[in-house]
Chain A
Amino acid sequence: MSIMVGILFAIGTYLILSKTLLRIILGTSIIGHGVNLLILTMGGLKKGVPPILGLNEQYFTDPLPQALILTAIVINFATTALFLVLSYRAYSVVGSDDIEQLRGFDDE
């Protein structure tokens, strides 16, 4: 699992460092998945039944990492969507998705 997290982070970092906006967005979402996987791994992987009162089992899984991941996924979904809209707007205003073109103020 942790190796997988490392791979996802590496891919994400590579994509973020590239020049195209779309690749950068893909990179952030891949890193987001890496982070979710990391939370799952760090929460400890163990066998057990769902933590619901009334089940007479000895081992329960820890629900917290899953709750965290669910929240993180929702937030990640929202920010990625927003980022997509934003870069689409930037693309239509600037006319390019190359971030080298995205610099340049009037006064520099």
Chain B
Amino acid sequence: MQKNADDIVVFLIIVSALILALAAFIAIMVYLYRKKQISFFQNLEQIKLDHEKTLMSAQLEMQESTFQHISREIHDNISLSLTLAKLRLNTLNRDDRNEVEEKVTASVTLLTQCINDLSDISKSLNSDIIKQQGLTRALEDEVQRIRDAGMFTLDSWLTGNPIYMDAQKELIIFRVIQEAFNNIIKHAEARHAELSLHYDRERLYIAIDDDGNGFDTRLAREHQKAGLRNMETRVKMLRGTMIISSLPEFGTNLSFTIPID
């Protein structure tokens, strides 16, 4: 009888030990998982913070570049035109009616030019159109603005079904395209350029080609050209890719692939 009771105790101890061992195994599993999960979410938070930091820095860069653009436009065009107008009006011989008429007309033309330039700057800086009507509509206006400037001919294509993305994201894409055209205007001396956009369900593909001077991409990267670096940073921020193909005298091709999510 005593032996049977001992057997039961031994048996119960073994079973309890087995169950406790399994429970401990599961508890360790849960503990390790939770620990890993906490570390994972901390990392995720850090990545989010880094991304926000990059976004902020890109916004500051964009702002800085915009200020430079405004400053250049004011200095090169508006200020010059206003100075000329002022000069003409200051040197006005009020007794000579013909000269008065000629100089006032020329000054009015210069002031009209200034107003148009200011209007162009204002339009190109205004991001409301992107928020209200989207990227494609804003690009249509931008293309028209460049065509009107008459520095080179510009063709544009849009294929696929446009998908509206986050306004902030569309603004960054818009500024990247603007930067690309600014580079063509400033450096390429192109006669013809093309802009094409293609939307599929997951990505937006953008290509910008010109037949201008071109450049050595390796040298440009080595010298960390600010314009290119800005574009690259902004595209990377959108988890996209940017490919530059260019050779001196053979024009330039810029391709961007931006994920839509």
A and B: real partners?
no
B residues adjacent to A (C-beta < 8 A): none
Interface residues, chain A, with chain B CB atoms under 8 Å away: none
